[in-house]
Structure 1
Amino acid sequence: MTRTAAIAGLLALSLPAQASSGLPFIINTWGGPFTAATDAAYLSLQNPATSALDAVQVGCSTCERNQCDGSVGFGGSPDENCETTLDAMIMDGTTMKSGAVAGLRRIKDAIAVARYVLEYTTHTLLAGDLATQFAVSNGFPLSNLTTAEQAARCTAWREDNCQPNYRINVTPDPKSSCGPYTGTALNSTSPAYKRAITPDASQTSHDTISMIAIHASGIMAAGTSTNGATWKVPGRVGDGPITGSGSYVDGDIGGCGATGDGDIMMRFLPCYQAVENLRQGMSPKLAAEDAVKRILRKYPEGSYGIVVVDKYGEHGGAGSGWTFTYAFRGGSMNATEVVSVPPLNETRLVMQA
């Protein structure tokens, strides 16, 4: 079987794009506890005075407050120092302006601070302690983002020799030690160099909320909020606050939200790619699948999830490495619905080619 035929066969097995349920419309990564965010954002849009940006902020902040599955907001995904830091981004689909914070410390309301960056600066991204300083100067209170449960997890992780972690090419062996670590010499001209910098495929993935809102007027916005990867190297920033990676929206075309192995995904700007796929005439489902396959060609072992919606509310998703789900509610729907997306199998696709 040729690769072209294999791709055609796989697309034929794909679920069709989901028809629009009408406006206003909310869609976001993950079902389960994340549907509380979908409902909150959708219900906020029942007030005509609520903007698409407002709805995205309401939805993401709902997860920041209730922690959804622990991957958003305070008390989750501690780094090696057992500190939780937050990443968030919000984007206006009309002006294409976005605001974001990365590595935000000691502030609970990450999506709200990101919106302050969007509305009260000409910048796009603020990071670390100086993002915290910006938040405090705008009236956000300092908070302890560590919970008793998180502290107990940190103690257990350290007692288990800091397993798993994200260190590679260091001494002592990161598979059996907490460090401190020292980098080993690498030869960038060696054929083994590429293998040496390939991440461990067994590393645990993490989740994120990425949301797109369409106001009844058709105006769109998108946003993402996450506490990142558990046991990350302190200072690590993933794809969540990166415009075009964690989420992206162009009100003339549509929007996208992403979740998964952020360190890999941000190298491909999958949400920017998916929206450009819409611009080129692909359906939301095929736009999402194409964006995921571009990653799979280089990193077939990771976990990825993409949800895409056009400006009319037609939507679709794609994922690999897990069974990805997304939630949506629009028009006169009485409840949020969850769509389960079977994983693409790029490895099998290549083997059949």
Structure 2
Amino acid sequence: MVINTWSFFVANEEAWRILNLKKGGIGQTRDAVVGGISECERLQCHKEVGYGANPDERGDVSLDALVMDGSTMEIGAVGDLRRIRSAIKVARHVLEHTHHTLLVGDGAADFANAMGFPNETLNTAETTAMTQNWTEHNCQPNFWRNVYPDPKSSCGPYKPLNSWDEHASRNDQVELGPDNHDTITMAAIDEEGNIHVGTSTNGLRHTLPGRVGDASIPGSGAYADNEVGAAVATGDGDVLMRFLPSLRAVEAMRAGKTPAQAVESVIQRIRKHIDRFEGALIAVDRFGNYSAACHGVVYLKQSFRFIVSSPAYPNQPTRREVVKCTTVLKETPSELDRQVIW
């Protein structure tokens, strides 16, 4: 089985092709995850994975990625990776050629060079145009709070306010969805129950330079354990990483919950503390049973799409599935009506 977040057919089909090669062995699920996600990076899936698009405030693109082996619990990850396009392959090299788990920034790029990866620009003409348009619109939206001048109407430079308002939320005009999301996360399971998970992202638009999202944080964007199963997440990484949703889902299944109960319990756990977030979570147990749940801040009903490849439908092994999200409805700009929609 191969499952990945969002409607990235090409990634899933490539992973499924690799998984069904005859060589077998634990390495095959690793090859499938890395191969499938690499295809998405190469093709810039929806311009949200791989090089290009989604620049930070300075107009530069950086990448995060992770690979985890559910048999050994080993992880390789990179964060804020610049000048290298194959983020998921660099993450694999961290797993296979170091005793570390996570490399970031210039050190990650230097390591990639040592492993034979060439320097390539991650920026494109689209990246430049996106940055210029954002600047012309007073740098809206952005990820600052408790600073002056007012980040909701100014580009800065910013200084901290003397008094800190714990209720000051970030400028939340950014909403994730089919046309604005930032991560592919994938799980692959073979016939012997070997599991690998992987992630790759070029981050949200206009974040602060140096920001690392949830994709490269073990237990947040993805987690795997051959004894139990796996989980993969996507959404507002700065919220999700506070709760380690993938780890929580796997541990919930270890405690006896079904995949459906596991993902629902994690989403509700986050909602208990934060109503306004965008996030989706998929859990699959070691037998191939799976379920997804999601939550959004939307004006209309929102659904989450993901791709599954399995032998369950021989005539259509790769297919799109959809789950409706719990939501927070905005009735008017001044009136917030919290409801659950299924």
Distance 2:149 2:170 in 1: 17
One-letter code aligned to 1:304:
G
| Contact 1:117–1:124 (CA under 8 A) maintained in structure 2 | yes
Tell me which of 12, 30, 34 is aligned to 2:6.
30
Structure 1 residue 345: deviation in Å?
Answer: 4.2
Tell me the residue number matched to 1:340. Answer: 322
Structure 1 residue 212: deviation in Å?
Answer: 0.2
| Contact 1:166–1:203 (CA under 8 A) maintained in structure 2 | no
Tell me which of 2, 17, 22 is aligned to 1:43.
17
Tell me which of 217, 222, 231 is aligned to 2:192.
217
TM-score (norm 2): 0.90
| Contact 1:201–1:301 (CA under 8 A) maintained in structure 2 | no
Tell me the residue number matched to 1:226. Answer: 201
Distance 2:321 2:52 in 1: 28
Distance 1:76 1:295 in 2: 29
User: What are the superposed Cα offsets for residues 96-130 of structure 1, whole Å, 9 maximum, x if unpaired?
Assistant: 11010000001000000000000101100000011
Tell me which of 218, 237, 243 is aligned to 1:268.
243
Structure 1 residue 333: deviation in Å?
Answer: 5.4
Tell me the residue number matched to 2:335. Answer: none
Distance 2:172 2:143 in 1: 11
- Flag the structure with higher strand content: 2
Structure 1 residue 336: deviation in Å?
Answer: 1.3
Tell me which of 131, 136, 143 is aligned to 1:154.
131
Structure 1 residue 251: deviation in Å?
Answer: 0.8
Q: Select the structure with the greater relative contact order (CA < 8 A; seq sep ≥ 6).
A: 1
| Contact 1:60–1:111 (CA under 8 A) maintained in structure 2 | yes
Unaligned runs of 5+ in 2: 297-301, 329-337
**Identity among equivalent pairs (%):** 44
One-letter code aligned to 1:303:
E
One-letter code aligned to 1:35:
F
TM-score (norm 1): 0.87
Distance 1:70 1:227 in 2: 9
Q: How many residues align?
A: 318
One-letter code aligned to 1:120:
H
| Contact 2:148–2:158 (CA under 8 A) maintained in structure 1 | yes
Structure 1 residue 203: deviation in Å?
Answer: 2.8
- How do residues 1-353 of structure 1 correspond to structure 2 at under 5 angstroms? 25-31=1-7, 34-49=8-23, 51-187=28-164, 193-196=165-168, 198-205=169-176, 206-321=181-296, 322-331=302-311, 332=314, 334-345=316-327, 347-348=338-339
Distance 1:289 1:200 in 2: 28
| Contact 2:19–2:190 (CA under 8 A) maintained in structure 1 | yes
Structure 1 residue 172: deviation in Å?
Answer: 1.3
